Amino acid sequence: MATASTVQLSPRQNLQFAVPDLTSDAAQTTSKLLQDNHEQHHIFFNQQGFHNHIAHHLVTIFALGATSQELQQQYTNNQDYHRPLHRSASVQNHVFEDEAAIMAHLGKGRHYPDFLTFFQSEISKSSWQEVLQKYLFSGTALAETLFIRLWSSIYHPLIHLGFAIESAQPALVAEALAETAVHDAWIGSYLKPAEAAANVNRDRPSKSIVELIEAMHIDQILRNAVRWSDSSMLRDGIISRAGDRMVGYASQYHLQSTDDLESKTAEMINAVAYFTGGAQRDEYKPKYDFYYIHSLNSSIFFSTFLEQKWLSDAQRRRLLEWKVWNDLIMYASRKAPEPRLDLVRAYKPKQPSGWGQIFDRVKTTPDDGHAAKLVRALAHGQRVCAPYEERQDFKLKHDDWLQLGHMAIDSVEAAGPTWVRSTGFDEAWDEVPRAQL
């Protein structure tokens, strides 16, 4: 049984996207490896705050049909460079007996083991759903700062929480909340004003996400707000130099209580796949932008959120609005390149196939989870966007998704860097092989 300290997956797990006939052996192996990661590894694998993706990777390739041997091999490939957990003997949950004590320790990576212990204890007293309601959605000062921190560091706490909820694993929920607690909150200097401005605009019709992407692409002031030398193109570029302008764009997207959340979720998924997959250059072989893929890889969980009866419609709307506002600033932060669907549609796959063969390749390719998550998110996107693809604001149509899947697996298997980093800059493409014209 899955508990706050024990991981237990089932081959009948209600995962958001999975191939048929997952096996008991694979579920048992995934559970064992997730348990080892839970007990042995810190959420940051180094002192610079780089994230532990083991849980993301294992759940993803389990969903894509990985065998026990494939799961073990990928775990072995990645475990050696991870930091040990080192639960502190001097700082334990007694530090977090009240909200003030919790607030005093937020944003400090060394306290991840202590937050993990604390949230495991809280979940054991009630349920993971009640703990999430209390610590993310209750509206207290603590819940609000944790909700902001959920969106920090290119979606990583959000993605971890998404996997935890999708797999219904209380131990992963505790990990996700502890991870959230040790992140900083500066993204709130954009997201909170965006929410306030959107509230003012709620009596006006909302723009579509694609309309805003197109407007941002031609806004030279916004595009020039980021510089190659910026330490953080989000914080030091967009927020610092064009924060009010960015809030102005974000506030034009908002949801009404009467909006259909299923179609709005599909619109978000289509839009992020459009600007992520379309961020290509005709003189280079395809590569995905490392930052943009996080917008796409996190999108799958918003279908999961729709299925959670313990979330209210108002909470689902807030989650989706913050996701779109975060996607918009992520798009702007890499210099808002034009999405090139012509290049996507003209692409010639190295090994033309259906999704199954792409899954087989990505399950075994050397990876820390990013590539597998990308492929799975694209396959999920094709499914959820299919009912709406005749709409003008859904730029990606049915066949585009498989093209993007081929581009993803071909690009990570190809020579050169696995990803481009900050795709709108010429410098990001310096080491990418040239296309054969």
Q: Would 6 be classed as within a structural domain?
A: no
pLDDT of residue 174: 97
- What average pLDDT does range 354-380 have in this prediction? 97
Q: Are residues 350 and 418 in the same domain?
A: yes
Q: Would 87 be classed as within a structural domain?
A: no
- What average pLDDT does range 397-406 have in this prediction? 97
* Three-point CA angle 188, 191, 195, nearest 5°: 130
pLDDT of residue 91: 44
Lowest-pLDDT range of 82-91, 134-143, 345-354: 82-91
pLDDT of residue 256: 95
End residue of a domain, out of 132, 148, 181: 181
Q: Are residues 279 and 420 in the same domain?
A: yes
- What average pLDDT does range 21-25 have in this prediction? 97
pLDDT at 79 over 90: no
Q: Are residues 245 and 167 in the same domain?
A: no
Q: pLDDT-based confidence at 90, cuts 50/70/90?
A: very low
State the Cα–Cα distance between residues 382 and 352, nearest whole angstrom. Answer: 17
> What is the tens place of the pLDDT at every residue in 224-237?
999 999 999 999 99
Q: What does the mean pLDDT of the chain come to?
A: 94
pLDDT of residue 48: 58
> What is the tens place of the pLDDT at every residue in 31-70?
999 999 889 887 865 665 567 788 999 999 999 999 999 9
Q: Are residues 202 and 158 in the same domain?
A: no
Q: Would 88 be classed as within a structural domain?
A: no
- What average pLDDT does range 119-131 have in this prediction? 97
pLDDT at 94 over 50: no
Q: Are residues 311 and 206 in the same domain?
A: yes
pLDDT at 188 over 80: yes
Q: pTM higher than 0.95 for the full model?
A: yes
Q: Would 15 be classed as within a structural domain?
A: no
pLDDT of residue 42: 74
Lowest-pLDDT range of 2-6, 14-18, 107-111, 333-337: 107-111
pLDDT of residue 437: 59
Q: pLDDT-based confidence at 86, cuts 50/70/90?
A: low
Give how far Cα 4 sits from Cα of 9, 124, 129, 369, 379, Å: 13, 6, 12, 24, 31
Q: Are residues 235 and 361 in the same domain?
A: yes
* Three-point CA angle 308, 312, 317, nearest 5°: 95
Q: Would 296 be classed as within a structural domain?
A: yes
307: left (phi over 0), alpha (psi -120 to 50) or beta: alpha
Q: Are residues 146 and 167 in the same domain?
A: yes
Q: Would 123 be classed as within a structural domain?
A: yes
pLDDT at 81 over 90: no
pLDDT of residue 93: 44
Question: Which is more confident, 97 or 76?
Answer: 76
Residue 318 CB contacts under 8 Å (≥ 6 apart), including other chains:
none
End residue of a domain, out of 181, 212, 236: 181
% of the chain with per-residue pLDDT over 70: 95
pLDDT of residue 41: 80
127: left (phi over 0), alpha (psi -120 to 50) or beta: beta
pLDDT at 175 over 70: yes
pLDDT of residue 339: 98
End residue of a domain, out of 132, 155, 181: 181
Lowest-pLDDT range of 38-47, 197-206, 294-303: 38-47
- What average pLDDT does range 357-374 have in this prediction? 96
- What average pLDDT does range 340-366 have in this prediction? 97
Q: Would 340 be classed as within a structural domain?
A: yes
DSSP 100-159: HHHHHHTT-GGGHHHHHHHHHHHHHHS-HHHHHHHHHSS-SHHHHHHHHHTTTTTTHHHH
Q: Are residues 48 and 152 in the same domain?
A: no
- What average pLDDT does range 83-104 have in this prediction? 70
Q: Are residues 45 and 121 in the same domain?
A: no
Domain housing 35: 24-79
Q: Are residues 163 and 198 in the same domain?
A: no
Structural contact between residues 201 and 251, judged by C-beta atoms closer than 8 angstroms: yes
> What is the tens place of the pLDDT at every residue in 416-429?
999 999 999 999 99
Number of domains in the chain: 3
pLDDT at 11 over 80: yes
- What average pLDDT does range 147-156 have in this prediction? 96
Q: Are residues 276 and 360 in the same domain?
A: yes
Q: Would 139 be classed as within a structural domain?
A: yes
* Three-point CA angle 188, 194, 197, nearest 5°: 140
Give how far Cα 284 sits from Cα of 372, 408, 434, 437, Å: 23, 14, 4, 9
Q: Are residues 135 and 266 in the same domain?
A: no
pLDDT of residue 96: 78
- What average pLDDT does range 14-31 have in this prediction? 97
